[in-house]
Homo-oligomer: A and B are copies of this chain.
Amino acid sequence: MSKTRKDAPADETAKNAQLLIKAGFIHKEMAGVYAYLPLGLKVVENIKQIVREEMNAIGGQELIMTGLQAQELWLSTDRWDDELVDIWFKTKLKNGADVGLAWSHEEPITNMMKNHVSSYRDLPSYVYQFQTKMRNETRAKSGIMRCREFVMKDLYSYSLTEKDHNKYYQKVMTCYHKIFERVGLDHITYPTFASGGAFTQFSHEFQTICDAGEDIIYVDEAKNIAINKEVFTDEVIAQLGLNKTDLVEKKAAEVGNIFSFGSTKSEQLGLYFDDKDGSQKPVILGSYGIGVTRLMGVIVEAFSDEKGIVWPENIAPYKVYLAALGEDAEVTEAANNLYDKLEAAGISVLYDDLEAHPGEKLNDADLIGLPYRVVVSKKTVSEGKVELKARNSEETTLVSADELLAKLKV
């Protein structure tokens, strides 16, 4: 149903949202709140599927918690008060009881785990979800990179000991590198030391170099590591064994984060297990986020040019943009046949068979940014060929339908 547009809304200043709106991937409902149209939803699902496969590979079990949150849980960990957590959206039940809208899920998941963890035999346990989070951001100005409503993957690890926890933490670090590699960003994404909050000195972020990012990091390229400005002191640099002269300041977007909570939350919420020796111990908690829709925005920021988006093939909503140019019956028939052939071969195709000026169709192809553009025109039909162009190349080639299939099936 989606159509490309000449302009994004006037108040939309972020490149990612401008391109995604113009290309028909998203719709702006209000500042920081976007709907995902058919093309956009496919991208979100492609990203989710990559993340899901890697989560499952490290023993994660998928579930889905709730958006409405009970006040009591958050009172018990001192995270309900608006003075302490300033991004709550809150609302009321009919009976007047306050409820919150989920901005994170450590509390409810840890509380839920009390029903499933009682013995050392029940641990470790790793659970994750893709959840719509709501955060009452004061400013939402980076398109889909900072939203009031967005999709996040959050994984929670429940471990027997600090040692087990640290092992799994490292496993997730490796897993995150794989994920960012698969979405095409690993070469500009750095594990970054950041503030650890109440529980540890540092947390780890994954930061992607990005002009539209809101963070400043200091990158040691050779060591493939960075430090967030918030903890960038001479003391920390020395502690991490880095040299100030090797560190380059960059703008970056936080695409992932990892927190260790130790046993604090388990103690606050009452998640204990009976150990082998009969003693009762609190469970060790870690939480591991990836901003799925933010990642989509960062990908657009990283892979676009003056004509539009240039989707990495793993993420693209379709592999091929097929355009029939002109109203000629022969052209239409040839394009229809080609569409059927590509689909039969399992190659996903966005078929633009609308009546439109050829120039518009070619502009749309660039704007939407699928990896390959295939054009069928009177000229190509007369030569028994089709025209193929990769989005990231200027070169067009005339190929037969069979050559095209062979090339695209690789």
Contacts and interface: CB of A to CB of B under 8 A. Distances in A.
Identical chains bound together, number? 2
A138 interface: yes
Interface in A5-60: 5, 24, 27, 29-30, 33-38, 40-41, 44
A101 B91 contact: yes
A354 B122 CA distance: 9
Contacts of A33: 66, 68
A122 B24 CA distance: 14
A108 to B, nearest CB: 6
A93 B134 CA distance: 11
A137 interface: yes
B112 A27 contact: yes
A38 B61 contact: yes
Given A63-B41, A127-B1, A30 B70 contact: yes
B134 A67 contact: yes
Interface string A59-95: 0011111111110000000000000000001111110
Contact of A35 (B44, B112, B126, B354): B112
Contact of A138 (B66, B94, B99): B94
A121 B354 contact: yes
A125 interface: yes
Given A30-B68, A63-B37, A116 B2 contact: yes
A380 B136 CA distance: 59
B3 A122 contact: yes
A116 B321 CA distance: 19
A149 interface: yes
Given A30-B68, A63-B35, A1 B125 contact: yes
A208 interface: no
Contacts of A44: 64
A149 B91 contact: no
A386 B32 CA distance: 57
Nearest to A122: B3
Contacts of A34: 66
A24 B355 CA distance: 54
Contacts of A125: 1
Given A36-B63, A63-B37, A29 B68 contact: yes
A112 B142 CA distance: 21
Contacts of A165: none
A91 B354 CA distance: 42
B99 A67 contact: no
A96 B127 CA distance: 36
A354 B116 CA distance: 13
Interface string A117-143: 000011001110000101011100000
Determine which residue in A40, A63, A122, A134 has the highest number of CB atoms from chain B within 10 A of its CB, and name it: A63
Nearest to A5: B115
Nearest to A24: B116
Contact of A29 (B65, B116, B121): B65
Nearest to A137: B94
Nearest to A39: B63
A148 interface: yes
A116 B1 CA distance: 7
Determine which residue in A40, A61, A91 has the highest number of CB atoms from chain B within 10 A of its CB, and name it: A91
A157 to B, nearest CB: 11
Given A30-B68, A89-B91, 6 more contacts: A1-B127, A24-B116, A27-B115, A35-B65, A41-B63, A68-B134
Can you list the 5 inter-chain pairs with the closest CB atoms, starting with the nearest? A1-B125, A38-B61, A35-B65, A89-B91, A29-B66
11 contacts: A3-B122, A29-B69, A30-B68, A35-B64, A38-B61, A67-B67, A67-B132, A68-B148, A91-B101, A94-B136, A94-B137
